[in-house]
């Protein structure tokens, strides 16, 4: 490292953005440290986000398969009994294993973990736990936290009005859970507790759930979740929630205004979005400003407006997703090392890990049509042999291509393994594939992925199995 500096690179925050940036920087021979105030590494994703939510989704899926009769239909008779403590235990084990794994990777790559929250004291120096640390490059990767809803105060310890962190840890299955916000968190965690026996009501401000996703997908997802028993109150807002004894009483109003109604719940999950973490960084000392949405703006190389300061992940504009943060972390470290790190923000897949899963990459049909003429191919999972054999009739694949060039602009799937299927679509799009390229790629049989091939064939009107 340069003598004047303690480090070549100091990363603030050890989430998927920060820890990955730190590892890549170290791999490239840069002297690297990462400041993290949490007791374990891994950020939101490993500690209270992606990983623990998937642990609960996976376990509750098994429970429902046994309790809901799906196993019995396949000739497996079981009388399941819910042991929630053990279910929580395997969730905690998953988190412990993975966060410990990052600590191991830090040691292996000789990255110093500075334990504490970093605060800028100048454009190249931060204070961490009372110690000044000077670095030639500083990467801000402080992530995001839950957006509060005025009038609805979260108290995870009490376990009645909770955010996603509290909803992962409920000590018992609520009789009635009200989810505020029909986005990714509301549907994933609402699904967990519904499968384990709760009645779930989802209150969504807009006229449809899952904003940002393809219109057909949103409609179909709503139909599937309704069939599973989730009750939706669309175009509705929650104006207050009051804890009375062991229950919460919510006041709801039509989004457009009108008569209020009340709703009682044992647990209320507030999941109306997340906002960037910038409080406490003293960005003014570094000479940095936030945009109107409270984010740190960067250029395509992840440079902020201040020389030597970079930013990645949930704290910068774009989808708040772990894999987007990771890819930005790698690219940012490579740029610091003088290489050419690039993230193609047009091809970032997103997945909702419900059952079935919902996944998409690229443009929605609506957005694609705004840009020009398109051709669309659709194929139902009901006609896919593997899905049919596995008793998974719900969902479809949709491929959207440019009408003139046939280049694939977007792919959307609702299928049990949509999250895995979408990777091939992302890769095809990265390679500039046409729908014909996908249609003429040999797909193994019988796989769910054949539905992507057939949807691509349907773009020009020639699917085989429908
Ligand atoms: P974070 O993971 O938020 O990490 C930032 C870290 O910085 C934190 O550990 C924080 O303690 C630390 N920090 C903050 N300020 C300071 C400071 N001043 N000094 C030192 N350290 C600081 N995304 C997916 O792609 N797939 C999923 O399945 C998925 N599931 C999710 C489920 C839930 C319930 C939630 C809440 C989120 C989920 N996400 C998922 C989103 C994903 O967790 C985030 O997009 C991702 O963690 C962002 O990474 P990051 O590195 O930008 O920030
Ligand atoms: P979200 O943005 O996905 O959904 C929030 C929903 O709440 C939207 O439908 C919005 O219209 C609605 N809403 C906003 N204000 C409201 C109000 N006052 N009343 C009722 N509804 C209201 O946000 P969510 O679910 O909190 O998740 C935050 C972020 O975390 C996501 O954007 C995603 O990036 C990330 N995440 C990703 C996951 C994944 O990749 N599988 C899983 C969980 C979270």
> What does the block give as tokens for 178?
């009200």
Instruction: Return the pLDDT at 310.
Output: 99
Binding residue per annotation — 381? no
Residues 400 and 411: beta-carbon distance below 8 Å:
yes
SS3 252: strand
The pTM for the full model equals 0.98
Using one digit for the tens of pLDDT, what is the confidence trace for 210-254? 999 999 999 999 999 999 999 999 999 999 999 999 999 999 999
> If you measure from the C-alpha of residue 41 to the centroid of ligand 1, how many angstroms do you get, rounded to a whole number?
11
Ligand 2 atom nearest 238 alpha carbon: 19
Binding residue per annotation — 419? no
Q: How far apart are CA 304 and CA 299, in angstroms?
A: 7
The candidate with the shortest Cα–Cα distance to 184, out of 114, 241, 269, is: 269
Say what the ipTM of the complex is.
0.98
The candidate with the shortest Cα–Cα distance to 31, out of 137, 130, 181, 163, is: 137
Q: How far apart are CA 235 and CA 205, in angstroms?
A: 5
Which residues line ligand 1 at a C-beta cut-off of 6 Å?
12-18, 35-38, 43-45, 49-50, 53, 117-118, 141-144, 164, 185, 277, 280-281, 313-314, 320-323, 325, 353
Q: How far apart are CA 328 and CA 205, in angstroms?
A: 32
Q: How far apart are CA 12 and CA 5, in angstroms?
A: 16
Using one digit for the tens of pLDDT, what is the confidence trace for 262-314? 999 999 999 999 999 999 999 999 999 999 999 999 999 999 999 999 999 99
What's the gap between Cα 238 and its chain centre?
24
Find out whether the beta carbon of 400 lies less than 6 Å from any atom of ligand 2: no
> What does the block give as tokens for 314?
């949930």
Sheet of 261-265: strand order equals 236-244, 247-254, 261-265
Residue with the smallest CA separation from ligand 2 atom 15 is: 272
Ligand 1 atom nearest 118 alpha carbon: 19
Using one digit for the tens of pLDDT, what is the confidence trace for 438-454? 999 999 999 999 999 99
Using one digit for the tens of pLDDT, what is the confidence trace for 397-433? 999 999 999 999 999 999 999 999 999 999 999 999 9
DSSP string, 135-153: EEEEEE---EEEPPBTTB-
What's the gap between Cα 184 and its chain centre?
7
Q: How far apart are CA 70 and CA 82, in angstroms?
A: 17
Residues 252 and 241: beta-carbon distance below 8 Å:
no
Residues 260 and 278: beta-carbon distance below 8 Å:
no
């Amino acid at each position: 490292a340069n003598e004047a500096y303690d480090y070549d690179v100091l990363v603030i925050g050890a989430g998927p953005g920060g820890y990955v940036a730190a590892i890549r920087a170290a791999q490239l021979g840069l002297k690297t440290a990462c400041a993290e105030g949490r007791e374990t590494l891994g950020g939101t994703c490993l500690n209270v986000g992606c990983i623990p939510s998937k642990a609960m989704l996976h376990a509750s899926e098994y429970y429902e398969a046994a309790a809901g009769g799906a196993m019995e239909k396949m000739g497996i008779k079981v009388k399941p009994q819910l042991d929630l403590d053990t279910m929580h235990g395997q969730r905690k084990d998953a988190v412990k294993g993975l966060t410990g794994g990052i600590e191991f990777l830090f040691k292996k790559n000789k990255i110093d973990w500075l334990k504490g929250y970093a605060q800028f004291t100048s454009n190249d120096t931060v204070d961490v736990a009372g110690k000044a640390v000077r670095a030639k490059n500083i990467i801000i990767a402080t992530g995001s936290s839950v957006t509060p809803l005025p009038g609805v105060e979260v108290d995870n310890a009490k376990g009645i009005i909770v955010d996603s962190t509290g909803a992962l840890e409920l000590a018992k299955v609520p009789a009635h859970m009200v989810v505020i916000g029909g986005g990714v968190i509301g549907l994933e965690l609402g699904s967990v507790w519904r499968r384990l026996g709760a009645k779930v009501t989802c209150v969504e401000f807009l006229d449809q759930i899952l904003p940002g996703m393809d219109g057909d997908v949103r409609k179909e997802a709503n139909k599937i979740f309704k069939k599973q028993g989730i009750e939706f109150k669309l175009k509705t807002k929650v104006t207050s929630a009051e804890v009375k004894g062991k229950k919460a009483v919510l006041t709801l109003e039509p989004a457009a205004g009108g008569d209020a109604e009340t709703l009682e719940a044992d647990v209320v999950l507030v999941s109306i979005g997340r906002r960037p973490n910038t409080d406490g960084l003293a960005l003014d000392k570094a000479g940095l400003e936030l945009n109107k949405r409270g984010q740190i703006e960067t250029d395509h190389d992840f440079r902020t407006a201040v020389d030597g300061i970079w930013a990645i992940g949930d704290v910068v504009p774009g989808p708040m997703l772990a894999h987007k943060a990771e890819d930005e972390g790698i690219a940012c470290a490579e740029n610091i090392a003088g290489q050419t790190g690039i993230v193609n923000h047009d091809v970032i897949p997103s997945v909702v890990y419900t059952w079935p899963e919902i996944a998409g990459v690229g443009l929605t049909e609506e957005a694609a049509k705004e840009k020009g003429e398109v051709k669309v191919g659709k194929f139902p999972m009901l006609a896919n042999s593997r899905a049919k054999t596995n008793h998974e009739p719900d969902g479809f694949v949709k491929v959207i291509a440019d009408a003139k060039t046939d280049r694939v602009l977007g792919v959307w799937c609702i299928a049990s393994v949509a999250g895995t299927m979408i990777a091939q679509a992302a890769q095809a799009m990265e390679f500039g594939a046409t729908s014909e390229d996908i249609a003429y790629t040999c797909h193994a049989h019988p796989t769910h992925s054949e539905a992507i091939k057939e949807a691509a064939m349907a773009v020009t009107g020639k699917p085989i199995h429908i």
